[in-house]
């Protein structure tokens, strides 16, 4: 029987800012850019009571919470805290799958601390994180990987939730499908139209019905709802793309104004590619444009290196689809090739 722990830090970026500046501890707080068009990366729990959420524009957040304090992010500080948290994980297992700076899966099936108890390990990990960083974390513990992730959200903040092996079937039966990773808003609406709302609804239909009416995703969803999808921790996550984008305080009203932003975007993309050692693994170039009416379009072309002329062509192509709509956001990016496999001479027996 597998033992998974999912650790999720509590409003991580905001928590770091509240830790470092006590004056922010009891006010509605969010992290984001200074312009009204800026987008929030996270908000503390006080702000969330007003409906403020990540990915919300500064302007909308201020409408919901006029007293909201918005501070710029300090990524180097967050990365340092994340490294401290990762060091805690490594005291308990080497099977760690980071999902972001503030959350990760741990496989503790064969771990010996805390007498091998995943529940006690989760408690101790959270205590160790607080001792090292002054930050709180929540945890989910389960014998199935994706259930651990769902469970970590059950007793937030600074809590944990355990789904024991003999509780899995009941937990999945009542589980709203929207809580399952991979079931987004649009997918959920389609499932609801077919009368599917909970794990029990999916299991009642059976795998053949799910494949016929939902497709291959229906098979995967059935396996999850039936407790057949155990999952495994992947310690080597492969990056497939890298991009940079910017939301402008004032709309760009013509193509030339958009093209003038390319050098800055290209400079940032080049810096990030070089830092991550990906500049020799480019497979395609892409451009993203979001218009003032919030319609988003993109264009891409296979290519093996950064080329400003190709980005110019792609941006011009994407811009024309807006039918003279002003532009609020521009982004450029690259596709990333997998690292080449080492060639090994096989024997005739292989």
Q: Is 252 exposed, middle or buried (0-12, 13-18, 19+ CB in 10 A)?
A: buried
Token pair for residue 6? 């999912």
Residues in the chain: 350
Nearest to 307 by CA among 344, 279, 277, 345: 279
Q: Hey, how many other C-beta atoms are within 10 angstroms of the C-beta on 285? A: 24
CB 89 within 8 A of CB 214: no
Catalytic residue among 17, 49, 103, 267: 103
Integer Rg of the chain from CA = 23
What is the distance between the alpha carbons of residues 109 and 87, in angstroms, rounded to a whole number? 19
Is 221 strand, coil or helix? helix
Look at strands 4-9 and 137-142 and give their pairing. antiparallel
Please give the Cα distance from 105 to 98 (Å, whole number): 6
Query: How would you classify the pairing of strands 137-142 and 241-252?
Result: unpaired
Please give the torsion angle defined by the CA atoms of residues 222, 227, 233 and 236, in that order, rounded to the nearest 10 degrees: -10
Q: Is 102 annotated as a binding residue?
A: yes
3-state secondary structure of 81: helix
Is 107 annotated among the ligand-binding residues? Answer: no
Active site includes 339?
A: no
Compute the distance between CA of residue 25 and CA of residue 48 in angstroms, rounded to an integer: 14
Active site (catalytic) residues: 103
Binding site: which residues?
A: 8, 102
Query: Residues marked as binding for Mg(2+)?
Result: 8, 102
């Amino acid at each position: 029987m597998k033992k998974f722990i999912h650790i999720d830090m509590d409003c991580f970026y905001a928590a770091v800012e509240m830790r470092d500046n006590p004056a922010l501890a009891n006010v509605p707080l969010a992290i984001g850019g200074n312009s009204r068009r800026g987008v929030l990366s996270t908000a503390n729990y006080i702000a969330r009571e007003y409906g403020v959420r990540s990915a919300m524009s500064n302007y909308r957040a201020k409408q919901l919470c006029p007293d909201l304090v918005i501070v710029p992010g300090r990524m180097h500080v967050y990365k340092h805290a994340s490294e401290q948290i990762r060091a805690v994980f490594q005291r308990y297992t080497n099977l760690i799958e980071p999902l972001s700076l503030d959350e990760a899966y741990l496989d503790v099936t064969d771990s010996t601390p805390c007498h091998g108890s995943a529940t006690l390990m989760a408690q101790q990990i959270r205590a160790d994180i607080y001792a090292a960083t002054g930050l709180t974390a929540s945890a989910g513990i389960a014998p199935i990987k994706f259930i651990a992730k769902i469970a970590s959200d059950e007793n937030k903040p600074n809590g944990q939730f355990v789904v024991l092996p003999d509780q899995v079937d009941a937990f999945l039966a009542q589980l709203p499908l929207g809580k399952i990773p991979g079931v987004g808003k649009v997918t959920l609406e389609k499932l609801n139209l077919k009368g599917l709302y909970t794990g029990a609804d999916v299991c009642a239909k059976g795998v053949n019905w799910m494949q016929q009416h939902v497709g291959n995703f229906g098979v995967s969803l059935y396996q999850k709802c039936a407790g057949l999808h155990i999952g495994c921790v992947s310690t080597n996550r492969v990056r497939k793309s890298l991009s940079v984008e910017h939301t402008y305080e004032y709309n760009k009203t013509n193509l030339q104004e958009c093209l003038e932003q390319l050098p800055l975007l290209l400079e940032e993309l080049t810096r990030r590619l070089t830092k991550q050692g990906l500049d020799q693994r480019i497979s395609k170039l892409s451009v993203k444009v979001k218009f003032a009416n919030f319609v988003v379009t993109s264009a891409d072309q296979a290519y093996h290196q950064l080329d400003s002329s190709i980005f110019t062509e792609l941006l011009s192509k994407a811009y024309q689809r807006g039918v003279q709509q002003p532009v609020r956001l521009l982004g450029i990016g690259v596709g990333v090739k997998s690292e080449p496999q080492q060639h090994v001479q096989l024997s005739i027996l292989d």
